Every structure is written in structure tokens, then in C-alpha cells.
Amino acid sequence: MNSYLIRNVSVLGAAPTDLLLRDGVVAEAGPGLSAPDASVVDADGLVALPGLVDLHTHLREPGREDAETVETGSRAAALGGYTAVCAMANTSPVADTAGVVEQVWRLGREAGLVDVQPIGAVTVGLAGERLAELGAMADSAARVRIFSDDGHCVADPKLMRRALEYVKAFDGIIAQHAEEPRLTEGAQMHEGEVSTRLGLTGWPAVAEEAIIARDVLLAEHVGSRLHVCHVSTAGSVEVLRHAKARGVRVTAEVTPHHLLLTDSRAESYDPVFKVNPPLRTAADIAALRAALVDGVIDIVATDHAPHAVEDKECEWAYARPGMLGLETALSIALDVLGPEWDLIAERMSRTPARIAGLTEHGHDPAPGAPANLTLVDPAARRLIDPAESASRSRNTPYARMTLPGRIVATFLRGEATVLDGKAVK
Amino acid sequence: MIRHLLSGADLDAGTATEILDTAAEMAAVAGREVKKLPALRGRTVVNLFYEDSTRTRISFEAAAKRLSADVINFSAKGSSVAKGESLKDTALTLQAMGADAVVVRHSASGAPHRLADWVDGSVVNAGDGTHEHPTQALLDAYTMRSRLGRLAGLSVAVVGDVLHSRVARSNVLLLSTLGAKVTLVGPPTLIPVDIAAALAPGTAVCYDLDAVLPSVDVVMMLRVQRERMNDSYFPSAREYARRYGLDGARMRRLPEHAIVMHPGPMNRGMEITPEVADSPRSTIVEQVANGVSVRMAVLYLLLGGNNR
């Protein structure tokens, strides 16, 4: 194993110090460390964060290896400062059996760039009709704890109740894609002034809010854990605030794009801005940002959704929804929150690790902690060029934008996955 | 002059008026024995139709031919489109063939915008999904101006399925630009609540047809698509016709000079009765004739015919 001596790094914005990574852990911390056998990383001006943890990543393998593989997605994640990602279940075949989740888990280990934690489907084939073998996935080598039909809502209230109850046996959690399907038939973008002008079928905010309201009541009724994926509306924030005040065991995520981009992006009819749930209004963005700061929204999750060129270079209505996110998430967080390092660590590493049960992740770099960390240059600004993405896909909505912050290095269990801003493998 | 015509919002009052004035000159040609001008000789106009619309296609085809352009009809049926060629590949093909203008009809809102990114020639939106149909709005404005002598200050009621109507969107935008006052009429399920904010702030909304009829100069009936009838927008075709259909009794409550318009094709007995459609107030057949003149004007001006 390699050892690394990181010199003059600011741990979460504190005064510069040195960190010695050895045997997979942070062995020592303090100014003026010496370790002749260690590779030295000059971290002047850099900030160390616990390795980021993404609770919502689409890696597309198996099934759409032309859009992303576990390996290319892992590389994009490492370059974005992540040390762990949770891989969504909507692959082909669907990750609804122990066999598929173990395959994804094994591919993640082989890539070795981040820890890939598979998410299992709630229902067989994401069809929303009967429960998948949740226990078998939980007991598999992948040790699945998060279950989600993401991309589809578990719309049937009885099935949702049963799923919430059933996973209590192994401390599982249901991550809901909150979208009332009857209210979003044919929906293309946020329902509002812009959709009216563009003649695109609207996706009303109430379709999300109604499901979240139902689900927090169900979770309260059965005493289960609920996680709400990609919260996108101001109304959802109020429902969550109310539920949390009542003590419901609910957590919620917001994506970087819902913190930054509004529905006016659809005016170009460029489907790179088509995403589900859709981009909302400036008022929604303001509410989501405030909720992320005050904790009503617990985490930032990317909903990294790679798509092949032909699935985006077409008419809006025919395009698949989704955006890349792993390589830009930290920059968006910096842009939106400013250099609030403790808050960023809380929302992008510690809390998502806790929700996912990833005990090796989400620890601030300190002696004895697993050496899962990332080094950020907060002063850097970078122009986003889709062609430079490590993802196999190019559907970033931030093309030609200049964003703050750059990941310089990432370490997974003490081994560098990124050095000098480049993936090591 | 603008390069593409994708939306009614692309036209300011000056440009719109120039098109209408040019259309009037074109209409004079239609009265001649030889209905042809050499203006676009050697230019290629492609009609790219992904949706069946014989009326709109032949209107554009007649317009281009009367200007002596070479016309290529590219329809989704019997072409590579049916085999799944992407819009972009089709665009590159048309580009390679040297299309000076592409007239596109598509069921997906925004498809003409995408096309305009991929071809050098002018793109004319001939109806995209539930978005817009700007040449229809121009021919409607032309028809109103010919019948009533002006557009500024006219009171126009647009009645029916505004939510799904590309004709309504383009008309609201263009008529507002030209100084007419538009009132949208229909059941609340078919009129987006934010339509005025989305399109033109002066637009009024009324759910009661009878309340608006006595004070309008123009009533424009929109076609109600069959598929809406089973999707809870209204209880039944009969109830729709009773509340929002234009029949003889309602027509007689219009001011003496008021005209009745319909973009076609009509559902006779649903949004309009035969008595109204065939009455002297109806401009429905004129609208078709005016469509050719207006489209000639659009192609002529977009392709720089006035500079040659």
C-alpha cells in the first residue's frame, strides 16, 4: 500500500496542517509531519473534505453500457470528489434480484475507484405490482439497504406501505421517486408559464407534493424510514418541514441542478435540460436552497443520469430525462452555498453516508478515520466542456458555464483515485 | 427580415404588417390568368411533414410553386423517417441537398426550433405539437383585416381547447402584437391559468361564451380533438357543444358586423353548427384562400425575395 503525506491542507477550512495517510487510514494529523517513505502531495491552498457520498447515481450497467459503465461512472465520481456512490436499480435487467445487485457490486470493486453500493428495486421490474426479493438483496454480498424504483413512483399506497414495513427487518429504507403518475401523464417539463408558452405538457408540483405527503403519513403510521429522492418544489419542502416537526423518520435529497437551473432553460427546446422531476421556478430554487441550509433537506444527491447522444439529440418529447452530475456537484454546492465547508461535508458526505449505512464513509479527516477524503481547490474556476467529462455520456447541463472549485485529489481507503485533477486509472 | 418563422413572437408589428401587406400583393397575383411569379426561381423549398396535414401542405406547396420555387415534399410516410431516421439526420440530409427553406410540421412541440439549429436555410413552423402555428395566425390576421379593415382595437374571442391549440397560441401572440384585444373562452380545464402571463399580458379569459358574444368583432372557434373527449376535460361532447359550441342562436347575438372563423378541419355539430359554418359571417373558405397568399409572402420575405 502507498502512503501519502498531504502537506499544508486546510481540513474543512481550518488552519493548514499535514495529513499522513497510511494503511487505509489517516495515521497522523498535525503541522510539520515527516514520513520519508510517503509520496508528498502539496496541498497549499486546498481544502480537505471527507470523501463525498452520492445517494443517487445511475451507472447504467448492466444494459446501457453505451451510456455509462460502472467503471466510467466510478471514474467520474472520483473526479468529482466522491468515494462512494449508490447505484440506482433501473438497469436492464433491473436490479431486483440478488444476482444483479451482486454483479453491480462486484463491478464496482473491480473498478476500484469508489465504493459502489447497489440500490435494490422495490418492485419486480420496477413495475409497481409486487415486491422484489428485498431480503435476498439485503442478505447478498451487496448488502443492500436502500431500495428504490427510481424513475418510477411506487404509486400504489398499499404496496408502498408494505415495502416500508418489510424493510424494517434489516434496517432498510425506501427511497421514493415522488411522482403521482396520473397527474404526470405525458409530462415534459414543469407546469407553469413556460410550459404554457412552449406547448409542452406540464408536470405539476402537486404531483410530487401529494406523494410526499402520503408517504410521510405512511412512514409515520408504520414507524419506518423514508427517503425522498430529488425534492424539487417549495411545496414539498413545506410538507417535509411539517413531517420532520412531527418526528417522522424521513430524509430528503435535492439535486445540484434543482438548486441552480430554472424551467426557463426549456425555451431552447434542447433536451439536455429535460430531467425528471423537471427544472422548476426561481421561487422553488430559493426554497430548496433555504431548506438545504436549515436541514429540512438533508443531503445533496446528484441523480447523475448519463444518456447516449441519440437519446438527447432529438425532439424534446422524445428525449430521455436526466443530466450528468457527478463531476460538477461540488462546484454547484460551492456556487450555491459558498465555502461553508462544514455544511458541505454534512450535506454531501456525513449525512448521505449515515442514511446509506456506509460506516467507512463520511468521516472528517482525522487520526484513525478511514482515509476516504478529497482535496478541493476552492479558488479555481473552470469552464465546463462536455467533451472533457470522464462519463461515457455528454449530457451535462452546465456546458460553457464557468463554475467555482476543482477537485485536485481523491483518496479511497488511503489510495489515490485522483491526483493532480486526473484519475489515476 | 427574420431568418426563421418559428413563433408568433418572432414577429414585431412592423414585420407582421409587412407580411400582411405583401400577402395582399400576392393575392392580386391569384386573380390573374397566370398565377405565377418568378421571385424564387432556382430556390428549393422542402415541405417536411411528420404529421398528416394535407390542407397545410398543399397550401405551402401552392405558395412555393406560385413563386416558381422548386418544391420537394418529404413526408414521414414512405420515407426514411418511417424507418426511424432521427430529425437531426433528416436535417443534415436536407442541408446537403441545399434546401433554402424547410417548412416543417411535427407532432412534437419545439421540433422546428431544433431543426433551425441544424440547417442553414430558413425554417418555417407549419405547426408543432401543441405549441404554435404562426402562418395560421398570419392568415387569420389577414382575413380579419380584409373583412373588418383593421386589426388594432379589434375584439377577438378565441373559443375552445386553448390548452392544446397551436393556433390559439400563435393568434394570441400575433394579435396582441398588432393591437387586437383577445379573450380566451372555454372550460377551465382547457385554458391554462397562466396563459396571459405566458403569452401576452393583456389577454382576457372568460368561461362564459354567451357573456362575450355581444361585444366581439371576431369569434374564432377552435377544433376540439376527439382524444380530449375521453380524458375528463369535459363530461361529454354534447355538454361541450351546449356550453361552448357556436350555433345559430348564439351567432345572432353577435354584433351585426362580426365574423366567425375556424382554422379547420371542423367538427360540425360539435364546436360549430353547419348553419354557422355556412353562413355569410363565416370566413372559413376565405381563410383557406388567404393561406396561400400569406404563405407566399412569408416564403418570399424569408428567402430575401425583396432584395433581389
For A283-317, write each residue's pLDDT tens digit: 999 999 999 999 999 999 999 999 999 999 999 99
pLDDT in the model for residue B195: 96
Q: What mean pLDDT do residues A376-396 have?
A: 98
Same domain (yes/no): B13, B151 = no
pLDDT in the model for residue A189: 98
pLDDT in the model for residue A414: 97
A303 is catalytic: yes
Nearest to B12 by CA among B176, B201, B223: B176
Could you tell me if residue B3 is inside a domain?
no
Question: B192 and chain A: CB distance < 8 Å anywhere?
Answer: yes
Q: What mean pLDDT do residues A193-204 have?
A: 98
Same domain (yes/no): B275, B292 = no
Same domain (yes/no): B69, B165 = no
CATH number assigned to the domain covering A4-47+368-423:
2.30.40.10
Q: Are A20 and A368 in contact (CB under 8 A)?
A: no
Q: Is the Cβ pair A199, B131 closer than 8 Å?
A: yes
Which of the following CATH numbers is that of domain A51-356: 3.40.190.10, 3.20.20.140, 3.90.1210.10, 3.40.50.150?
3.20.20.140
Question: A198 and chain B: CB distance < 8 Å anywhere?
Answer: yes
Q: Is the Cβ pair B110, A201 closer than 8 Å?
A: no
CB atoms within 10 A of CB A371: 26
Same domain (yes/no): B251, B296 = no
Q: Is the Cβ pair A197, B169 closer than 8 Å?
A: yes
Same domain (yes/no): B250, B139 = yes
Task: Give residue limits of the domains in chain A.
Answer: 4-47+368-423, 51-356
Question: A315 and chain B: CB distance < 8 Å anywhere?
Answer: yes
Of the partner residues A197, A268, A314, the one whose CB lies closest to the CB of residue B87: A314
Helix (H, G, I), strand (E, B) or coil at A112: coil
Same domain (yes/no): B56, B151 = no
Same domain (yes/no): B16, B120 = yes
Cα–Cα distance measured from residue B227 to residue A345, given in angstroms and rounded to the nearest whole number: 51
Does ipTM surpass 0.85 in this model? yes
Question: A317 and chain B: CB distance < 8 Å anywhere?
Answer: yes
- The CA distance from A69 to the nearest CA of chain B, in Å, is 25
Question: B113 and chain A: CB distance < 8 Å anywhere?
Answer: yes
Cα–Cα distance measured from residue A336 to residue A289, given in angstroms and rounded to the nearest whole number: 8
pTM for the whole structure: 0.95
Of the partner residues A193, A198, A310, the one whose CB lies closest to the CB of residue B109: A198
pLDDT in the model for residue B305: 58
Q: Are A151 and A57 in contact (CB under 8 A)?
A: no
Does residue B80 or residue B283 have the better pLDDT?
B283
Which residues of chain A make contact with B109, given a CB cutoff of 8 A? 188, 198-200, 269, 316-317
Could you tell me if residue B159 is inside a domain?
yes
Of the partner residues B87, B130, B195, the one whose CB lies closest to the CB of residue A315: B87
Question: A283 and chain B: CB distance < 8 Å anywhere?
Answer: no
Same domain (yes/no): B94, B118 = yes
Task: Check pLDDT > 90 for residue B1.
Answer: no
For A86-102, write each residue's pLDDT tens digit: 999 999 999 999 999 99
pLDDT in the model for residue B80: 57
Task: Check pLDDT > 70 for residue B78.
Answer: no
Give me the helix-helix angle, A282-294 and A329-337, nearest 10°.
Answer: 90
Task: Check pLDDT > 80 for residue B77.
Answer: no
Task: Check pLDDT > 60 for residue A30.
Answer: yes
Q: Which residue of A has its CA nearest to B90?
A: A314
Q: Which of A189, A197, A316 to mutate to test the interface with B (most CBs of B within 10 A)?
A: A197
Question: B111 and chain A: CB distance < 8 Å anywhere?
Answer: yes
Of the partner residues A268, A314, A317, the one whose CB lies closest to the CB of residue B109: A317
Task: Check pLDDT > 90 for residue A244.
Answer: yes
Same domain (yes/no): B160, B90 = no
Which residues of chain B make contact with A317, given a CB cutoff of 8 A? 108-110, 129
For A268-281, write each residue's pLDDT tens digit: 999 999 999 999 99
Same domain (yes/no): B246, B157 = yes
Task: Check pLDDT > 60 for residue A109.
Answer: yes
> Domain tally for chain B?
2
- The CA distance from A265 to the nearest CA of chain B, in Å, is 13
Nearest to A301 by CA among A55, A29, A120: A55
Cα–Cα distance measured from residue A15 to residue B257, given in angstroms and rounded to the nearest whole number: 82
For A62-87, write each residue's pLDDT tens digit: 999 999 999 999 999 999 999 999 99
Q: What letter represents residue A210's amino acid?
A: A
Task: Check pLDDT > 90 for residue B83.
Answer: no
For A319-354, write each residue's pLDDT tens digit: 999 999 999 999 999 999 999 999 999 999 999 999
pLDDT in the model for residue B308: 41
Interface of A with B in 53-72 (CB under 8 A): none
What is the residue range of B116's domain? 8-132+288-307
For A359-383, write each residue's pLDDT tens digit: 999 999 999 999 999 999 999 999 9
For B206-243, write each residue's pLDDT tens digit: 999 999 999 999 999 999 987 777 889 999 999 999 99
Same domain (yes/no): B138, B278 = yes
CATH number at residue B210: 3.40.50.1370
Q: Which of A54, A96, A263, A303 is catalytic?
A: A303
Task: Check pLDDT > 60 for residue B79.
Answer: no
Reported as half-sphere exposure (CB side, CA atoms, 13 A), residue A171 has a value of 6
Same domain (yes/no): B113, B26 = yes
Task: Check pLDDT > 60 for residue B307.
Answer: no
Please enumerate, by residue number, every residue of A annotated as part of a binding site.
56, 58-60, 90, 150, 177, 230, 276, 303, 307, 321-322
Task: Check pLDDT > 80 for residue B2.
Answer: yes
